[in-house]
Amino acid sequence: MTDLTRRPATPLRALYDWTLGLAAHRHALTALAFIAFIESSIFPIPPDVLLIPMVLAARERAWRIATVCTAASVLGGGAGYAIGLFLFDTLGRWLLEIYGYMAQFDEFRNIYNEWGWWIVLMAGVTPFPYKVITIASGVTQLDFATFMGASVVARGARFFLLAALLWQFGPPIRAFIERRLGLITIIGFALLLGGFLAVKFVI
């Protein structure tokens, strides 16, 4: 998660604060779905900013919150795929340039057909910008079923891991998650990959 909590006021910080403020709204779950959807293609603030305080405020609803966040993020990934497939020259390239992601896009573009599943899985779990992956998947015409399947696994693993930690440990874990989200999600990805390899070679 982008650490904006100690930075001076900027347009991005203002957007972060606005997003965080939605957690206290009476329609917070709808707001979470909206943010998770648009973050997958055009919005710079990750849905974790909303998910964390929402789960802490109602830990008994942790799994419902994670489910909504996952479903909306995956559907938003489909929208990002469509941008890459149909609108890259007019919208997709502009979005990537605005957020400074063209270098990452160019790096992954040439290896998509061979490693698409694993790239989507890795980026969906780790802090790597998911919007880069959704747009690139559309541009390179990665098999859509493969893309959506990897997105479901990756985004679900990310958001349910956060919800599980918050549900189990409550407020004391929040500061650790916000400082170490990258490490947490990379460890989660490693465990997920290990599970897949175990199934492949043991069963």
In tens, the pLDDT along 26-72 reads 888 999 999 999 998 888 888 888 888 899 888 899 999 999 999 99
pLDDT at 98: 79
Question: Which residue in the block uniquely carries the two structure tokens 């679900």?
Answer: 156
pLDDT at 183: 57
pLDDT at 194: 54
H helix runs in the chain, sequence order:
11-21, 28-39, 48-57, 62-86, 93-98, 102-109, 112-125, 130-139, 144-169, 174-202
pLDDT at 11: 64
pLDDT at 71: 97
The residue ranges of the chain whose pLDDT is under 70 are 1-13, 16, 108, 110, 113-114, 125-127, 176-203
Domain boundaries of the chain, sorted by first residue = 11-202
**Structure pTM?**
0.76
- Rounded Cα–Cα distance for residues 102 and 89 (Å): 13
Kindly give, in sequence order, each residue whose CB lies less than 8 Å from that of residue 15, ignoring residues fewer than 6 positions away.
Answer: 44, 45
